[in-house]
Amino acid sequence: MSTLPVLIAGAGPTGLMLAISLAKHGIEHRIVDANPERSPLSRALAVHARTLEILDSYGIAADLVARGRQLSGASMYAEGRLIVRADFDELDTRFPFLLCLPQSETEAVLEGLLVRSGSVVERSTKLVDLDSGEAGVGCRLLRPDGSEETLRARWVVGADGAHSAVRKAARLAFPGHRYPEAFWLADADIEWDVSDRRVTTFFSSEGLLACFPLPSGQMRVVASTPEGAGEGDPTDSDVEELLRRRSGQEVRIAGSSWRARFAIHCRQVERYRAGRVFLAGDAAHVHSPLGGQGMNTGMQDAHNLAWKLALVEKGLAGNALLESYEAERHRVGEELLRATDIATRVATIQSPLGRRVRDRVTEFLASMEVVQERVTRRVAELDLAYEKSPIVGEFRSSLWRARFGDDEEEESPTVTAWLSFDAAPRPGQRAPDGLARDPEGHPVRLSELWQPTRHTLLLFDGRASTRQGYEDLSRVARTVRERHGDVVASVVVVADSMIPEALAWDGVTILDPEGDLEYRYGARAECLYLVRPDLYLGYRSQPAALEPLLAYLDDVLS
């Protein structure tokens, strides 16, 4: 029996994202899904800025944006009074908005890219059992015609949702709880005075109401069920009456395409990996939909795992790299569950005193610019970081050396440059994008040089450039290309309007005469940053020292 490198169970956004990335890496895989076709229901709606940045590296962000509706911010009312107005347009990203797009549309774009990459979803195919061993995973699939197929895979990834067959077969517990409140959902044509460019939330004595404008012109409304509501799905008249009472407006529903009653769970597996089996997305964590984080988190689970699996499959990295998937993503899921759990409990407070305290505290905090900025960045997932990851690191000269050092063999930064670098993004944080110029002077975005299949080494010459410094950067770039050129692409960033003669490097060089990249990376003096394939910083160094960098690369990519 031949061995398949990777079997993916589940073809939602998480599974599709993983398959696309593996295909980009050239890793053979199969992706199966128990459903006969994609669901036409809108389901998850929010595509956040960080997810769009990642999808842009695959060339599909523009397609998603064209299909969706850009929401500029969020407004929150309490008993008819505006208490919060938060805007996304100040976010430091190419996508300063919340993209509202039905999950069915997101999946269509992802699957289209997967097909163009040479892969296809095997539908009506269910993984019914697996047996994981040291050499691989024995899998039993139920085919559309009722026959069974047995195969062996080196790795299995369960992206098959909250009721994951992979999770159950791997005997991984899914601890957590169900919230006592039930909720109504409706996608409806509504005539009322609510913005079609903002998320609008109403708190009232009768409960919570949240409204999301859809690209179709309909509105998605989600509400805690009213007192005395039955167990079935609501009718249009039920929803209309609820909207009228909680918004305080005249409301008319002309029709709806989807209505449902649902419950919310808060659960997370204790481990994202069991031997050769991994879990991602809803198979690993489910939580309240407040904030619209679920689909985004699942896709980023997949993006984190894919490049690590690919390097291990190619023999370019070892088990320690795979171990970092759980170390990084379990913490993200844990923090997400904690935040959404608190938000859900606060949003559904029933006591009159509790509601008044909630509304006053929310209004006060939202009036503080620093709090509002932090919340919007967190919702957009721009502050997500892996600073405690076992595979991130840095090398720095001491502040003492910056103040008093005089090492002719090593470029020591000034105190100002040392402090600027100290305040810059750290390993594990999101890699900043920025504007630069190519050697001909044409504008170029740094993100245009990033690849989802390779690390990118950014080598900055700093302001006080010297011939020795250029020679050092050239040596670092050439050595990394010789030793790790199949995994790392080097880019030299020159703080000038032309390439200096002393730079003996025939690879990619970009110019930063306006200083945008210097500002974003604190690169006033010679330094380097290593951007991972998932667009997070894996390593940084000031100065751009070769030996510590090679030691890091040998440790992570070995």
Nearest-angstrom CA–CA distance, 135 and 154: 7
Q: Which domains does the chain have, with CATH numbers?
A: 3-40+102-171+269-348 (3.50.50.60), 177-265 (3.30.9.10), 393-556 (3.40.30.10)
207, 223 Cβ separation under 8 angstroms: yes
Handedness of CA 381, 383, 389, 393 (dihedral sign): positive
Amino acid in position 452: P
The interaxial angle of helices 467-484 and 546-556, nearest 10 deg, is 20
532, 317 Cβ separation under 8 angstroms: no
Give buried/exposed letters for 468-495 (b at 16+ CB in 10 A, else e). Answer: ebbebbbebbbebbeebeebbbbbbbbb
Cα distances from 277 to residues 74, 133, 134, 139, 167, in angstroms, run 39, 10, 11, 11, 9
Nearest-angstrom CA–CA distance, 156 and 493: 40
pLDDT in tens, the chain (558 residues): 679 999 999 999 999 999 999 999 999 999 999 999 999 988 999 999 999 999 999 999 999 999 999 999 999 999 999 999 999 999 999 999 999 999 999 999 999 999 999 999 999 999 999 998 888 999 999 999 999 999 999 999 999 999 999 999 999 999 999 999 999 999 999 999 999 999 999 999 999 999 999 999 999 999 999 988 888 999 999 999 999 999 999 999 999 999 999 999 999 999 999 999 999 999 999 999 988 899 999 999 999 999 999 999 999 999 999 999 999 999 999 999 999 999 999 999 989 999 999 999 999 999 999 999 999 999 999 999 999 999 999 999 877 666 665 555 556 788 999 999 999 999 999 999 999 999 999 999 999 999 999 999 999 999 877 888 899 999 999 999 999 999 999 999 999 999 998 899 999 999 999 999 999 999 999 999 999 999 999 999 999 999 999 999 999 987
Tokens coding 140: 């039993």
* Segment (H or E) for 340: helix 319-347
